[in-house]
Amino acid sequence: MQLGEKIKHFRKEKGLTIKQLSELTNLSSGFISNIERNLNSPSVSNLQQICKVLDINIVDLIQTSDSIHSMIVRRENRKDFFKSSDDNVKFELLSPRGKKLTGICIVLEPHSNYGKTSWGHNYEELGIVIKGSLEIKIENDVYILNEGDSIYINKFTPHNYRNTGDTTCITHWFSVKEGEI
């Protein structure tokens, strides 16, 4: 199943029409319809809005049944599930798909800003800086995290981030959907 088909599946599972999803996400009905028909590629921000309303994790949209029983994800086999249009921000799946614990690697190139959208997820998450430094804004506070630092973010807490440094920033993020463990 492609991304659009999965969104449609979860929307119908929630009993929502395209119009209702549009109103709840502030995305146009035409845009959502085109996403569901795989004619438009949504941004991560759009996906987060949709996932929040559908009460799903973004990884729910990218998991496939053929890898559910896998225990190992080799670095060279990680799946990109989002790249910014300028390739300065990349999201890769660290954990095997279909598992209760989700791990994501976010790579931000030097001076890249992914702070336009403030995310508030319906799950708690733990982020660890693997390389470089990360500026993260949580509500009205700004923190600088360096290599080895970690941060715990409560669910529904708006946050955004950017790489203000001269080197690539690599972070790993982990989350568990409510009621999964």
Tokens found for residue 34: 């085109």
Q: What is the mean pLDDT of residues 146-164?
A: 90
pLDDT score recorded for residue 67: 44
CATH class of the region 3-56:
mainly alpha
126 and 173 in contact (C-beta within 8 Å)? yes
Instruction: Give the pLDDT band of residue 150 (cuts 50, 70, 90).
Output: very high
Which DSSP category does 88 fall into?
S
Strand residues in 8-71 grouped as ranges (E): none
Tell me the β-bridge partners of 102.
Answer: 175
Which residues, including other chains, have CB under 8 Å from residue 13's CB and lie 6 or more apart? none
Instruction: State pLDDT tens for residues 97-127.
Output: 767 788 999 999 999 887 655 566 678 899 9
CATH class of the region 67-176:
mainly beta
What is this structure's pTM? 0.63
Q: In whole numbers, what is the pLDDT of the chain averaged over residues?
A: 83
Which residues, including other chains, have CB under 8 Å from residue 60's CB and lie 6 or more apart? 6, 10, 51
Tell me the C-alpha distance between 145 and 134, whole Å.
5
Give the DSSP H or E segment for 51: helix 44-54
Instruction: State pLDDT tens for residues 59-85.
Output: 777 665 444 446 777 788 777 777 776
| Domain assignments of the chain as residue spans, ordered by start | 3-56, 67-176
